[in-house]
A and B are shown apart, each in its own frame.
Chain A
């Protein structure tokens, strides 16, 4: 009905475009190659909690992760991509079923390197030292907060993460008690997730009960997910088999095993990679309450 919602978003879409330009500028200055990989793929990563939308026998990508890692294995050292991803059934004030992802991968690096690079990227994209988001003043300049998942559970939920994981309340505690406290005065990296919450991440050599994975939160909003990549094909296959079994137990669609990705892992260098939700980043930078305000069209408006 009418073009008013689209016209009303003009200012947000102009600023969104400027943020995208600055992101591309950042990566070009750091020697990253912008790449494109296919949206429609035969075999998404078989993760228990991420559902792909079928497309003519194949699937729409839930992330460009597997194809980009095959590029790393082929010798591309620094690559980034801005693309659409699809996740079935995900729609809410902070979720779109079709959304825009920024992913970048870097060989000879780990997740700690990516924390610093993420700070620099968001500071460049924001083009301002501090922002106001939902009435909260957030300082973007300087070094951001870093907290382990274990410490966040103790500090904000008054419980250990391990019993929460065993009792199946890990995600609820994360959503209800922890997330709202993350990234309020300045952005927060929450890191070292339980090994079972990280299907494609390398385990921490000094403590293999956790994986080298972090998430970035700004103003209570989850912005990015990163990890030191798992490059052991045998262990990766075992993790995929376990995730696929969990999908089957929940009665979800099964996916073919991504064999070409698994065989490429043999040649993949040590690397780290990150997926950043660009619609969410724009929400934070423009102080938007719901994700609909920062995209031209939502599915419901088509």
Chain B
């Protein structure tokens, strides 16, 4: 059981026996008033979204989802194919259900596939993934524009902001929770 104070982005809760994931969360508290927990959440099966505001003291059921460790194999049309490492069973997940996770999928990546009532409805990627930069403009020494970041494209096609000293071919770590650059992988 969760309380309102446990709510945060990414938490999965069950409402009317359907799994929801919190996509936006904010804490609000006027002056000397009571705490309010404002959420936007997405139905993990239908993809529909809704806004809800809760007060402290309210409680929530965790969404009962099963996690299965699987390996990413390939993309086909608008589906992504994964294989269960133990049973070698293969499953397909739609691009829509993948969400941002598709930005981090490289061959053979191990992910947690989320199963709700025997049906794969999405994946959890690790919090940090290492991806190679395939395109970024070179850093001009003596650049005085004052810019402290530049765009870079990584091997999955995902584009993000990186520090100016990052060059093509380098391996970088990305925080998949925020989609932001985290650090350079040395060596």
Contact = CB atoms under 8 A, between A and B. Distances in A.
Interface stretch (B27-35, B64-72, B105-113, B136-144): B27-35
B128 A171 contact: no
A172 B28 CA distance: 9
B53 interface: yes
B11 to A, nearest CB: 14
Given A89-B35, A174-B33, A199-B32, A4 B27 contact: no
Contact of B33 (A8, A11, A94, A171): A171
A197 B32 contact: yes
Interface residues of B, number: 27
B148 interface: yes
A179 B175 contact: no
Contacts of B29: 49, 90, 95, 171
Interface in A83-102: 89-95
B183 A171 contact: no
Interface in B144-175: 148-149, 163, 173, 175
B164 to A, nearest CB: 11
A175 B173 CA distance: 38
A90 B35 contact: yes
A172 B32 contact: no
B47 to A, nearest CB: 25
Contact of A95 (B27, B56, B148, B181): B27
B61 interface: no
B51 to A, nearest CB: 10
Contacts of A94: 26-28
A225 B173 CA distance: 43
A7 B165 CA distance: 13
A108 B25 CA distance: 44
A215 B30 CA distance: 10
Given A49-B34, A49-B35, A174-B33, A4 B28 contact: no
A167 interface: no
B182 interface: yes
Mostly, the A contact residues are mixed
Given A1-B173, A90-B29, A172 B35 contact: no
A172 B183 contact: no
A289 to B, nearest CB: 12
Contacts of A91: 27
A178 B181 CA distance: 37
B53 A176 contact: yes
B184 to A, nearest CB: 8
Given A4-B163, A8-B148, A92 B33 contact: no
Interface in B56-88: 56-57
A171 B34 contact: yes
A49 B28 CA distance: 12
Interface string A26-57: 00000000000000000000010110000000
A255 interface: no
User: Which of B5, B27, B128 has the most chain A CB atoms closer than 10 A to its own CB?
Assistant: B27
A6 to B, nearest CB: 12
B97 interface: no
B36 interface: yes
B26 A93 contact: yes
A222 B149 contact: no
8 contacts: A4-B181, A7-B148, A92-B25, A170-B33, A171-B34, A197-B32, A225-B32, A250-B57
Interface of A: 1-2, 4, 7-8, 10-11, 47, 49-50, 89-95, 170-172, 174-176, 179, 193, 197-199, 215, 222, 225, 250
